[in-house]
Amino acid sequence: MIDEFKTSLFKIDNDFKIVFASDSLSIFLGISIKDIIGKSCYSLLNQYSSPCKFCPIVGNKFELKYYYELVSDNGNYGYFVANITKSEDKYLISMLDMTEMRAYNRINKHQIKEQEAVISRLKNELNFNKRKLAFFERSLDNSQAGAMFVDRDYNIIHINLKLRKLISLEIVVVNSKCYNIYGYDSPCHFCPWTNVGKERQAKVIGDISVVIEFTRMDHYILEIFRDVTKDLSYIKSIKENQLLLIDKQRQMEILNIDLIETNDKLKVIQGAMDDELKRVGYIQSSLLPKNNPEIDGYDFGVVFISTKYASGDYYDFIDASEGNLGIVLADVSGHGTPAAVIMAMTRAIMRSYTLGVTSSSSVLSMVNEVLCDNIYTKDFVTMFYLVLNIENDTINYSSAGHHPVLFYDASEFMVKKLNVSGLLLGIFKEQEYEEKVLTLDTGDILFLYTDGLVEVINKHDEQYGYDRLLSKIIMYSSLRPQDMINEIMQDVKDFTSLESYRDDITIVAMKKG
């Protein structure tokens, strides 16, 4: 029975002599039992001449098991585990043959190692795939487009950050199905699993509009979401703006028609206003002297050109009594009806206050007082006023802001300025005006003019100018005053070559005969 377990037994005495051996030991060694009995164990098994160094009996270590290999003379190999028990003065050594078991163990170990290698490789592959998946997931998360992976069973394998932001995160619950994203409880009608060839779908999810592009990959579908809410909003805005523009265009057309009608009406009104200004102009003209004074020893010339029908210029010859003739030249700032009204007012004041007053400065002071009380606009009046004493051929003259009158001195063949200063009329009350006196000789000319004359411009934006005027006065000094004025105005016309003047022009010339 012992042999069936492939256990070899032998018993030795205190001198290591074998006193018993089992058949299995005999068979393993190829030596008959009777030849075994009596031999020492160390010589029989290990061919030693003395007890083995590791002998447990010598070391008295029976509790340990000993593994060792034996090779018999007939070539049998065995791997044994030896167990030694002491019985009285004998030792029973049982040697369990572990040869096959060790072989099995070796095979198993080899298989285990192979399996471990496979497992290790699979682990590596798994880690690699995990990293690869993590990389793809990170890439997807970094994508500007929303994206999700879906499997055959409509499970969401991965949904990226963009898509989570795009849609409400609350609706992406654990184990959500892809169709839940689209707001359905069952597969969508446009599902690419069931609609073969489906590549694209437009959909409104909550407040956003998206276009989804489907890409099949074996058992998965990659769904890319593109947010087109803004695009649609722009398109909507453009459409609305287009409608608005069309509407504006319609309104503009209506407005245009209205403007044309208004323009026509304005033309009518303008015509009426022109007529009105013409009438004002007629009235104003009627206020100007009809004829030049006829005084022995004196010759007069005038020109009055208004840029509009109503002018701001004004001149007058006033009989100041006692052989005195008042000559006034004035320029109201501004043009049109307001200037004409102030001009008419000034004329009336002058006519009222000059009677019996032969001092030019006194007249200007009085006129200024009245004008200051009666001009309600920003306008003012410049005026040159002279009083000619016919009997002694003298003039006294004053100026209220008017540029100097030119005096052609025949004895010296030169033009002088009659410089005299005084504040513009109608600005501040209680003004005193400078007054000067001049005696006239034969051939002397007084040339009164408004600044519109020297300010005439040509197409090169050049002014006619003071110097040119002086030279013309000298040039035509031998002529009668009216002829001189006509020549000068012809020269002005040649100079400007423009159809109209920028400002009113008035000239009054008086020549001592």
Partner 1 sequence: MEMNIKESSKGFIIYPTGDIDIKSSPMLKSKVLELSDRGSVVLSLKHVHYINSSGLREIVDLFKILKESDKELRLCEMSVDMKELFSFTGLSKVFKIFDSEKDALGS
Q: Closest CB to partner 1 among 237 and 377?
A: 377
Among 208, 295, 423, 474, binds partner 1 (CB under 8 A): 423
Q: Compare residues 418 and 440 and give the one whose CB is closer to partner 1.
A: 418
60 with 51: CB under 8 angstroms? no
Closest separation between CB of residue 504 and partner 1, Å?
Answer: 10
What is the rounded CA–CA span in Å between residue 463 and residue 458?
7
Draw the binding track, 293-332, toward partner 1 (x: CB under 8 A; -: no contact): --------------------------------------x-
Q: Which is nearer to partner 1, 83 or 431 (CB)?
A: 431
All residues at 6 or more sequence positions from 143 whose CB lies less than 8 Å from its CB, including other chains? 160, 162
Of residues 27, 427, 438, 489, which one binds partner 1 by CB under 8 A? 427
Please give the residues from 373 up to 412 whose contact with partner 1 meets the rule CB under 8 A: 378-380, 382, 399-404
Strand partners, 398: 385
Which of 323, 319, 341 has the alpha carbon at shortest distance from 332? 341
Concatenating the DSSP letter of every residue in 153-172 gives TSBEEEE-HHHHHHS-GGG-
In this structure, what token pair is assigned to residue 225?
A: 């979401």
CB-CB contact of 308 with 277 (8 Å): yes
CB nearer partner 1, residue 210 or residue 456: 456
Q: Measured from the CB of residue 262, what is the shortest distance to partner 1 in angstroms?
A: 26
- In the complex, what is the shortest distance from the CB of residue 418 to partner 1, in angstroms, rounded to a whole number? 10
Residue in 26, 94, 333, 365 binding partner 1, rule: CB under 8 A: 333
Edge-to-edge, what's the strand order for the sheet holding 298-305? 298-305, 505-512, 445-449, 405-409, 414-418
- The CB-of-261 to partner 1 minimum distance in angstroms stands at 31
Stretch that binds partner 1, among 34-42, 76-84, 247-255, 419-427 (CB under 8 A): 419-427
Give the nearest distance from C-beta 227 to partner 1 in angstroms.
Answer: 51
Q: How far is the CB of 451 from partner 1 (least distance, A)?
A: 7
Q: Which is nearer to partner 1, 214 or 380 (CB)?
A: 380
Helix, strand, or coil here: 501? coil
Q: Residues 101 to 130: which contact partner 1 by CB under 8 A?
A: none
Contact in structure between 420 and 434 (CB atoms under 8 Å): yes
User: What is the end-to-end Cα distance of the chain in Å, rounded?
Assistant: 184
- Neighbouring C-beta atoms of residue 37, cutoff 10 Å: 14
Q: Over the range 303-330, which residues count as b (16 or more CB within 10 Å of their CB) and which as e?
A: bbbbbbbbbbbbbbbbebeeebbbbbbb
Check if the beta carbon of residue 187 is closer than 8 Å to that of residue 154: yes
Query: How many C-beta neighbours within 10 Å does residue 409 have?
Result: 16
> Smaller CB distance to partner 1: residue 227 or 331?
331
Mask: binding to partner 1, 429-458, rule CB under 8 A, as x and -?
--x-------------------x---x---
The nearer residue to partner 1, 115 or 421, going by C-beta atoms, is 421
Which of these segments, 213-221, 279-287, 317-325, 422-430, binds partner 1 (CB under 8 A)? Answer: 422-430
Q: Binding of partner 1 at residue 76 (CB under 8 A)?
A: no
Choose between 29 and 405: whose C-beta lies nearer to partner 1. Answer: 405
Cα 429 from Cα 167, distance rounded (Å): 83
- C-alpha of 240 from chain center: 23
Closest approach, Cβ 364 to partner 1, in A, equals 11
Quote the least distance from Cβ 384 to partner 1, whole Å: 10
Q: Which region among 111-119, 343-351, 385-393, 423-431 touches partner 1 (by CB under 8 A)?
A: 423-431
Residue list 126-185, contact with partner 1 (CB under 8 A): none
Q: Which of 212, 201, 208, 211 is nearest to 233 (CA)?
A: 208
With 0-12 CB in 10 A as exposed, 13-18 as middle and 19+ as buried, what is 513? exposed
How many residues bind partner 1 (CB under 8 A)? The answer is 25
Question: For residues 304 and 476, which CB has a smaller minimum distance to partner 1 in the complex?
Answer: 304
Q: In sequence order, what are the residues at sequence separation of 6 or more whose Cβ sits closer than 8 angstroms to the Cβ of residue 251?
A: none
Residues that bind partner 1 (CB under 8 A): 331, 333-334, 378-380, 382, 399-404, 419-424, 427-428, 431, 451, 455, 503
